Amino acid sequence: MSLWEYANPVRFLNLSARVLPVFWGLAVACLIVGLIWGFFFTPDDFRQGSTVKIIYLHVPSAMMAINAWVMMLVASLIWLVRRHHVSALAAKAAAPVGVVMTLIALFTGAIWGQPMWGTWWAWDPRLTSFLILFLFYLGYIALWEAIEDPDTAADLTSVLCLVGSVFAVLSRYAVNFWNQGLHQGASLSLDKEENVADVFYIPLLVCIAGFVLLFIALVLYRTGTEIRLRRTRALQAREGRA
């Protein structure tokens, strides 16, 4: 059986009904374990003091904010090429989750920045391109909301997602060129010397897993909601036509 068959809405609903409890459970478990571990049972960093605990929120949410857009990009491509409705609806369902992730990352980053850099916000390349990503999210959601016909909306938002991705990458380079950075480098890459120490590293991984699972659970659930709304709409439309 090919993977595409799950793109049938009914099949998708059935499947997601079965796996959703698992994802919800795992997500909540990982988040609770990871965050409690991080908050209560990790030492303070010698330079950053207790603020290092923010890493358990900031890094996973920032990662998910970016990954959510990538997921939307893939889903949009699938919709454009294969025209599976579930795919378009999944992209629609993921966008608000992505926005909240972005907000969390922005907020925790800003709070972290105040003690670390002495400012809430700096026009650093990573921060700036992240902010632009936030704008793309807003535009994407606004476009979905503004268009009445669902298929038209799916097509147009997909095109926007594609073009937006290209420009997001372009902006990243532009911003890099425009200003030199202040923000942390890649601290998770395993081959680097200055990796985050293990005491911080393992609970961080648990938190990341928690955010990923939460994202999956939310997107599956929200996709189901979108499917139901779309079905309601279809039935109502037919009622009205009668």
Within 170-199, the residues that bind another protein by CB under 8 A are 170-171, 173-175, 177-179
The full DSSP string for 53-111 is GGHHHHHHHHHHHHHHHHHHHHHHHHHHHH--HHHHHHHHHHHHHHHHHHHHHHHHHHH
25 lies in the site for another protein, by CB under 8 A: no
Number of residues that make up the chain: 242
Binder to another protein among 19, 142, 197, 199 (CB under 8 A)?
Answer: 142
- Which residues make Cβ contacts (< 8 Å) with residue 181, sequence separation at least 6? 124, 125, 126
- The least CB distance from residue 201 to another protein, in Å, is 19
Nearer to ligand HEM, 89 or 216 (CB): 216
- The least CB distance from residue 53 to ligand HEM, in Å, is 11
Cα distances (angstroms) measured from residue 122 to each of 53, 63, 105, 131, 184: 21, 19, 14, 11, 13
| Residues contacting another protein: total by CB under 8 A | 88
Nearer to ligand HEM, 2 or 189 (CB): 189
Nearer to another protein, 33 or 189 (CB): 33
Instruction: Name the binder of 9 from ligand HEM, another protein, none, CB < 5-8 A by kind.
Output: another protein
